[in-house]
Amino acid sequence: MGKRSGSRIILTGFSASGKSETGAILAGWLGWKWLDIDEEIVRQTGKSIDHIFAQDGEGYFRQIERQTLLAACEQQQVVISAGGGAVVDPANRESMRGSGFVVCLEAAPETIYNRLLAQDSGPVRPLLSDPDPLRRIRQLKEGRQSYYADADWTVHTDNLSLEEVCREVLRGWYYWRRTQDWDGCAERTGDVACQVVTATEQYPVLVGWGLVGSLGERIKQAGLEGTAHVLSDETVFSLYGERVIASLEGAGLRVDRCVVPPGEGTKTLDTAASLYDWLVERRAERSDCVVALGGGMIGDLAGFVAATFLRGLNLVQVPTSLVGMVDASIGGKTAVDHPRAKNLIGAFYQPRLVVADVEMLTTLPQRELVSGWAEVVKHGLILDAEFFGFLEEHVDRLLKLEAEATTQAVRWSAVIKARIVSEDEKEKGRRTLLNYGHTIAHGLEAATGYRRFLHGEAVAIGMMGAAMISHDLGLLPLEAVERQRALLERFGLPTWRFGVGIAPVVQAMELDKKIREKAIRWVLLESIGKAVIRDDVSPEHVMAVLGRLV
């Protein structure tokens, strides 16, 4: 039997607890295989469960069930719906507990009885033939309850819809995976890099090489239908628009498209208003989805429009830039710019699906690609020293965009971002760590009218400033500061001499969103892989560091 894996979700529970229905929906959401053990037994034997019991006896059925469940628990990226009585067999309990995340779908006897009455047929029907079926359900359930209670997570389904049950399963799965050690390199079967689970939404993040051709299929698997309203910019659409539309139409989706000029200057309220007009003309409905095809600007703009039109349209992020794949598309931050600062007008609005085709990076302009590596390096610096070491070891392969190394780096970085977002959706605590380097970066961008620096270039300089402040405060060894500098420079990112006056940078920093009670909240480093938040950095420290960066 394989090791215990986060790529196996096993559903247990009494008859009519919803294991089959929940399993099918979960598998669709995750893009995994779904195996119903009872259905597998029927397929293998050519007999119904009733006939196996009647002709061959329960002992034979339990033997087949044991073999079928064991084989299912060897598979990867699978949702398994176990039979109601499977937990009674010690071998089955060992197979399930030893291979994956086990969830018990619980329901009161009265709920189960009413659900059975509502079913027209099926292997559970004999329960109703008892003279007192409710008493029989109580007896059987009581005898199995200690086994059901051995699950990793229990969902009480009585008053929940199927979708709500699925959300609860995924919430538990996320918490369980966190305790099992989130490893960016682990479980790299299939294209689902990770699952974001927040209080408002859950969605898979798919990362792979050449995924754009299956985009339509992935959207349908996520349960989205209706019209796909594709929003893109002129540059990206000229490269990928036809392929995306062909994939969407091939999956049976109706498709509209709207193309806007590239560049941060497009990300305004005026553009959003024109997109509202377009959606009105197209008679967009709440069941439709907006497909954001592009880099961070398109992701922000399309996400903001999706969040605010009809009080919320389904959103699918298809990032085409590196910063989009590892950062902007994950976490639900959407916004347009204000003349005084970036992203001042926006909302937290989670997508239903993120599909990152790493092969798209091969058409990205070199400067934009280099800029994106700053966010990747940032993730290692603030949360994962092992990942930082991976980047140091493989930087040459990554600069050449070798498929295996690049896909691994993007996946690993996406997992780190997803983990933080799942813990802190609205940036009230731990998510603030993702702002490492961004205080100085946003000051630089605003002071230069968002025209001189790409975002990642400004972040690289900002991270060096934050590292220097960390060292000056006695938090970070000089060796770590130099390791950060060396890796950024190996990726071709700037680390100093930005040639901008200090005064306008400081003025812009004071307008930054990371201010609380007039004090800038600085994200600093204690070591590579460990960040902290401080609001006691003196203006003198900041001015001294900015002076050294000029």
Catalytic residue numbers read 311, 333, 375, 417, 427, 431, 435, 438, 442, 455
| Angstrom distance (rounded) from CA 66 to CA 102 | 16
Strand duo 202-208 + 353-357: pairing: parallel
Strands (E), 145-249: 153-156, 192-197, 202-208, 227-233
Strand 333-338 relative to strand 153-156: parallel, antiparallel, unpaired?
Answer: unpaired
Spatial distance between the Cα atoms of 110 and 53, rounded to a whole number of angstroms: 26
441 near 378, Cβ under 8 Å?
Answer: no
Q: Find the angle CA(352)-CA(357)-CA(359) to the nearest 5 degrees.
A: 170
Those residues with Cβ within 8 angstroms of residue 242's Cβ, 6 or more apart along the chain or in another chain: none
CB 465 within 8 A of CB 495: no
Is the C-alpha dihedral spanning 350, 306, 445, 543 positive or negative? Answer: negative
Q: How far apart are CA 226 and CA 329, in angstroms?
A: 22
Under the phi-then-psi rule, with left for phi > 0, alpha for psi from -120 to 50, and beta for the rest, what region is 60? alpha
Whether 296 and 320 have beta carbons less than 8 Å apart is answered as no
Of 205, 199, 200, whose CA–CA distance to 222 is shortest?
205
